[in-house]
Amino acid sequence: MKETEMITFEDALSRLEELVNKLEEGNLPLEESLDLFEEGIKITKYCSNFLDKAEKRIYLIMENQQGEPLIREEEL
């Protein structure tokens, strides 16, 4: 996954699963394994960031008992 490439969360997660399966097989050359591991780390960061943003959106949607958002938009 390239840094500028826009993919869905589901596609990123699917690619991460592919990488894990390839690495778990254990029959790749070291250099290729390192490249896949590096790609996996980038995808993990992308997914984590995506989930953080989704969580904040949920807090904006949800309201407290006074009808105010649980988090202010500027905190996003």
Task: State residue 6's pLDDT score.
Answer: 79
Return phi, psi of residue 6, to 5°.
Answer: -100, 120
The CATH number for 39's domain is 1.10.287
Q: How confident is the model at residue 29 (pLDDT cuts 50, 70, 90)?
A: very high
Asked if residue 60 lies in contact with residue 69, where contact means CB atoms within 8 angstroms, the answer is yes
Residue 4 lies in a domain: no
Per the domain annotation, does 2 fall within a domain?
A: no
Domain housing 63:
9-75
pLDDT per residue over 32-64, tens digit each?
999 999 999 999 999 999 999 998 888 778 776
Give the pLDDT score at 58.
83
Per the structure, how many domains does the chain have?
1
Residue 52 within any structural domain of the chain: yes
